[in-house]
Amino acid sequence: MRFLKRFYLGLIFLFLYAPILILMVFSFNDSKSRGNWGGFTLRWYAELFRDREIMSALYYTIVIAILSALIATAIGMVAALGIHNMNRFGKGLVINITYLPMLNPDIVTGISLMILFVFVNMERGFISLLIAHITFNIPYVIFSIMPKLKQMNQHLYEAALDLGATPFYAFRKVILPEIMPGVITGLIFAFTLSIDDFVISYFTTGAGVSNLSIVIHSMARRGINPTINALSTLMFITVLLLLIIVNKRTANNSGKENVI
Amino acid sequence: MKQKLNAKLSLLVIVFTLLVLLLTACGQSDRVTLKVFNWGDYMDTSIIADFEKEYNIKVIYSTFATNEDMYVSLKSGGNSYDVAFPSDYMISRMINEDMLHTIDMNNIPNYKYIDDKFKNLPFDSNNEYSVPYLWGTLGIVYNKTMVDDPVDSWEILWNEKYSKQILMLDSQRDSIGITLKMLGYSMNTKEEDQLEEAKQKLIEQKPLVLAYVGDEVKDKMVGGEAALAVVWSGDAVAMKWENPDLEYVIPKEGSNLWFDSAVIPKSSKHKKEAEMFINYLSEPEVAFRNTDYIGYSTPNKETMGMLDQELIEDSTAYPSDAEIENCEVFEDLSDTLQIYDRIWTEIKSS
C-alpha cells in the first residue's frame, strides 16, 4: 500500500516535471533542432541576453505583471469592501456581474477590449495592454478578498470606531490585517495570470509592446528558437529558488513561535 | 505594522515614478520612430541596431505568426506600422483593399540589386507596392535511407508503401494546392469541380498520413520519425544540415513559389523613413546577414555572390530556372477561400 502511494505520487511528479526537465536539457543543446543532440553548449544563454526582442518582451511581461497586479489589487480591495457592505440585493447583483468576466472565454474579453480601444481611438500599446490586464485581474482579486471579509468579525471595526479611531485608521489597523492573507493571495493570483496571459494580450497590444507569450507564438512558423528554452530554464530556477526561500522563512518563523 | 505600511507606501511611490518615467520616455525623443512588423525570428536583429545608429531613427520591432494575424492587426486599426512583410497572396489582397502605400522606387536605389526574376511578379506586376525580402519553394523532403523509389512527383505521397510515414502540412492552401498540381490544375483554381476532385484525393490519402504538422516537421524528419514530408525550402536547407540523409525535391508537376516582401501599410506616418529602412535591407551586405541568419533564399543578386558556392549550387535553396518553371505564386482567392475552408474541414474530419 505504501509502495502504491509513493508510486502514484512519483507518477504525478513525473508527468508534471518531465517536460520541464527535457526543456532544460535541450537549452544546452548545440543544435537548433529538437531531434538532434549536437553536444553541450551555453550559446543559447549568451544569445538570450543579446536578443533584444526577447529581452524587451521579458521586460514588458514583468513590468505589466507587477503594475497590473498592484493596481488590480488596490482596485479589487476597495471594490470588495464596497460589495461587502451592500444590501442583499445589490450584493448578489454585483457579485454576479463580477463573475461574468471570469466565466467569459478570454477571446471574448480580448476582442471586446480591442474593439473598445479602437472605438475610443486609442493607439494600442503599453497603456492599453496594462488596462486590459488590470481589467481581467480585478474579479480574481475581489473573489480572493471577499471570503476573508465574510470571516471577519463585523464588530471589530465598530469597536475600533467606538474607541475613537477614524474610519481610515480603523481600516488600516483592523480590517487590513484581517484580510491581508486574501489580499496577498489576490496579488499573487493576479501576477501569475498576467504573466500567463496570451489571448487578451494578443488583441490589446500594439507596435513594439509584446509579452513573452506573444513573441513565442510568433515564432511558430520558423520553430521555437532554443533561446526560449534557456529563458524558461532561468525563469523556472528563479521561481524555484524564491519558493525555497519563502518556505524556509515560514518554516523558521513557525519554529520560533513554537519555542515561545 | 507601521514599518510594513511605510514599505508599502514607498513601493507605491516607486511604481508610480516608474509609470511616469515610462510615459514620458515615449514622448521625449525627437527622433523619428519607425514601427516594423515582421514574422517571428525572421531578421537578424543586430541589423536593426546598426540601422538605428546609422540613420538616427528609432525602430520598434514587433512580430506576427501568420499572414492572417498580420492582416487582422493592420485591418482592425489602432496601430500604425510603417513596414510589414506579408507574403505574395496577402500583398495582392492588401493592394485590392487599398491598405498599402505605393513605394517610390527612386528612394530605393538598392532595388537594382534585386534579380530581374523577382520583379514584375503577379501579385505586384508593376513593382509599385513591394520589395522582395526572402523567397522559397514548397517541395518534398525525404529520407534517402527510407525511400527507395525515385522521388520526383507528388504521387509518391499517395504510395501505400509509405503508409504512416508521410507528413503533410497542416495548412489548407499548401496541402490542397499540391494536390491540385498533381492533378494538373492550377494552385489558384476557383473551379469547384477541380477542388472537389482534390478533396477526394486528400481523403483517399488520409489513412497513409502519419500526421498533419506545423513547424515540428523539422524535428520529426531530422529525428527519422517519417520518410516523406511536405516542407518549405528554407526549412529543408536547415534539415539537410542537421541530417545528411535528407534530400529535397521540387516535384516535376510544379509547386508553389513564395515570396515575403517589404511593404508600407497605409497607416504609416513615416513613409520616407520606411523607404530608407527597406532600402537598407536591400543593401547586399545587410541582405547577406539576414539570409545567413535565417537560412531562407535571398532575391538579391549581389548577396548571392557573397554566399558559399556550395549553397548556391545546392538546388534546395537556389533551384534552377527549369526547376521552378512549373511553379506558381499564390494569388488572392477572395471568396473562393470559403470553399477551401470547407474542403479542409471535411478532409480533417473524414
Read off the pLDDT of residues A29-76 as tens digits, 9 standing for 90 and up.
887 777 677 788 888 888 888 888 888 888 999 999 999 999 999 999
Residue B74 burial (10 A CB sphere; 0-12, 13-18, 19+): buried
Confidence category of residue B29, pLDDT binned at 50, 70, 90: low
A223 part of contact set with chain B, CB < 8 Å? yes
Contact A220 B12 (CB under 8 A): no
pTM for the model stands at 0.80
One domain, residues B125 and B196:
no
Q: Quick one: pLDDT at residue A260? A: 41
In the predicted structure, residue A258 carries a pLDDT above the cut 60: no
Q: Tell me whether residue A167 is exposed, middle or buried, using C-beta atoms within 10 angstroms of its C-beta: 0 to 12, 13 to 18, 19 or more.
A: exposed
B61 and B208 inside one domain: no
Verify that B90 and B149 share a domain, yes or no: no
Cα–Cα distance measured from residue B40 to residue B62, given in angstroms and rounded to the nearest whole number? 8
**For chain A, domain boundaries:** 56-221
- B45 at A interface, C-beta within 8 A: yes
Residues 41-70 of A with CB under 8 A from B: 50-53, 63, 66-67, 70
Which chain B residues are Cβ-neighbours of A172 within 8 angstroms? 5
In which band, very low, low, confident or very high, does the pLDDT at B16 lie, cut at 50, 70 and 90?
Answer: low
Give mean pLDDT, residues B103-129.
91
Selected residues 157-216 of chain B with any CB under 8 Å from a CB in chain A: 214-216
- Shared domain for B115 and B167, answered yes or no, is no
Residues B342 and B217 in one domain: yes
Domain assignment present for residue B332? The answer is yes
What pLDDT, in 10s, does the model give residues B250-291?
Answer: 999 999 999 999 999 998 989 999 999 999 999 999 999 999
Cβ of A63 and B41 within 8 Å? no
Q: Is B223 on the interface with A (CB under 8 A)?
A: yes
pLDDT on residue B108:
93
Question: What confidence score (pLDDT) does residue B1 get?
Answer: 47
Q: Which of A70, A207, A222 sits opposite B62 (nearest CB)?
A: A207
Question: Are B176 and B269 members of one domain?
Answer: no
- Residue ranges making up the domain that contains B341: 136-257+323-349
For A172-218, the pLDDT digits (tens) are 999 999 899 889 889 988 998 898 899 999 888 887 788 888 888 88
- Residue B9 pLDDT > 70, yes or no? no
Q: Report ipTM for this prediction.
A: 0.70
Task: Provide the phi-psi class of B231: left if phi over 0, else alpha when psi is between -120 and 50, else beta.
Answer: beta
- Report B:67-96 residues touching A (Cβ under 8 A): 69, 76-81
**Which positions in chain B touch A50 (Cβ < 8 Å)?**
46
What rounded mean pLDDT belongs to chain A?
A: 87
d(C-alpha A41, C-alpha B222), whole Å: 20
Same domain, B16 and B109: no
The whole-number pLDDT of residue A218 equals 83
| pLDDT, mean of residues B26-33 | 66
CATH code of domain A56-221: 1.10.3720.10
A2 and chain B: CB distance < 8 Å anywhere? Answer: no
pLDDT above 70 coverage of chain B, percent: 91
Is the pLDDT at B55 greater than 60, yes or no?
Answer: yes
A107 vs A113: CA distance, rounded Å: 10
User: B84 and B207 share a domain?
Assistant: no
Q: Tell me the pLDDT tens digit for each residue of B215-257.
A: 788 888 888 889 999 998 888 888 888 888 999 999 999 999 9
Q: At residue B19, does pLDDT exceed 80?
A: no
B84 near B278, Cβ under 8 Å? no
Pick left, alpha or beta for residue B184 (phi over 0 → left; psi -120 to 50 → alpha; otherwise beta).
left
Choose among A34, A123, A219: nearest Cβ to B79. Answer: A123
